[in-house]
Amino acid sequence: MEMFIPFGEVFLAAAVHASLQLELGGLLLLYHASLGKHIRRRTKKLVNNYIAGIGTLAILTLTGFCFMMDRYFGSALYPEELAVVVGMLVAIAVLAWIFYYRRGRSTELWLPRSVARYINRRAKNTDSSIEAFSLGVLTGLAEMPFTLILLLTAANSILALPFDYQLLAAGMYVAVVILPMVILRLAIRRGQTVADIQRWRVKHKNFFRIMTGVGFLALALFILAFEVLA
């Protein structure tokens, strides 16, 4: 039970992070731009580097938060501080329901149009592995307003684990976050086109919107029940 709660929190935070759509959208843009210009092997390499960029950013941010909390707070957060985190999670859940997706039959997100156009342009002009890697990092950073609190929550839970299990939990977080991108990669490899996948995303947009908000709320309730009120 002692380890179930921290692992549960890490998994839930990772699942909510994975449900966000910017990184997946960026991957789809990269796929579409690259398939139109390069041979398949090159596209595969670029996509792998993009996913590596996102994973690297996640693990670095996670471990950075762990280090800072351990150094400056001495340990995991106190219940009073966690109550603030719970409040922020609830607020972001509401924001995710209202603002995350723009209106209309598309998967346009809350990002300012200039940032979205910049990412679009970068995806179209990505030719080398390092550019694909930095595109992954860029989209991860652009998603930070929604993912920062998730990474903070996961870092707090990781610190509550015994030392031997901390790396495993961090690895689990990154694995869950990159899972949708790996699934997308497999789907395209098996013959799905970018248009099919985009249609699927548009069709299930409301489901994703609801589940993201519910995920944030569930994480907030989990922390409230097992950490703040316990």
Partner 1 sequence: MIQNFENDKHNQHKSKRENFQGKQKQYKSKQKSFRDKHNRGKNKHRLVSVADFQFQILREEIAKDAKALQIPEGAAEEITKKVILEAEKWLDMAGKATVSELEEKILAELKKYHANLAYVYQNRGKII
Using left for φ > 0, alpha for ψ between -120 and 50, and beta otherwise, residue 27 falls in: alpha
SS3 for 41-98 is HHHHHHHHHHHHHHHHHHHHHHHHHHHHHHHHHCCCCCHHHHHHHHHHHHHHHHHHHH
Interaction between residue 47 and partner 1 (CB under 8 A): no
Is the separation of the CB atoms in 120 and 34 below 8 Å? no
What track of x and - describes contact with partner 1 for positions 6 through 35 (by CB under 8 A)?
A: ---------------xx--xx-xx-xxx-x
Q: Hey, CA dihedral for 194, 183, 10, 138, is it positive or negative? A: negative
Stretch 98-117 residues interacting with partner 1 (CB under 8 A):
104, 106-109, 111, 116-117
Q: Name the residue nearer to partner 1 (CB basis): 75 or 121.
A: 121
Q: In the numeric block, which tokens belong to residue 79?
A: 């219940």
Q: Are 228 and 83 in contact (CB under 8 A)?
A: yes
Joined together, the tokens standing for residue 217 give 């709320």
Beta carbon of residue 193, minimum distance to partner 1 (angstroms, whole number): 5
Q: Quick one: 73 or 117, whose CB is closer to partner 1? A: 117
What residues does 109 pair with on adjacent strands? 101
Q: For residues 26 and 213, which CB has a smaller minimum distance to partner 1 in the complex? A: 26
**C-beta closer to partner 1: residue 74 or 112:** 112
Closer residue to partner 1, CB minimum distance, 75 or 192: 192
Cβ contact 146:100 at 8 Å: yes
190-229 mask for partner 1 (x: CB under 8 A)?
---xxxx-xx------------------------------
Minimal distance, residue 115 CB to partner 1, in Å: 9
- Our finding on whether 120 is near partner 1 (CB under 8 A) is yes
CA angle 221-225-227, nearest 5°? Answer: 110
Shortest Å, Cβ 124 to partner 1: 9
CB of residue 45 to partner 1, shortest distance in Å? 17
Closer residue to partner 1 in complex, CB, 2/114: 114
With 0-12 / 13-18 / 19 or more C-beta atoms within 10 angstroms meaning exposed / middle / buried, residue 92 is buried
**Residue numbers of the site for partner 1 (CB under 8 A)?**
21-22, 25-26, 28-29, 31-33, 35-37, 104, 106-109, 111, 116-117, 119-120, 193-196, 198-199
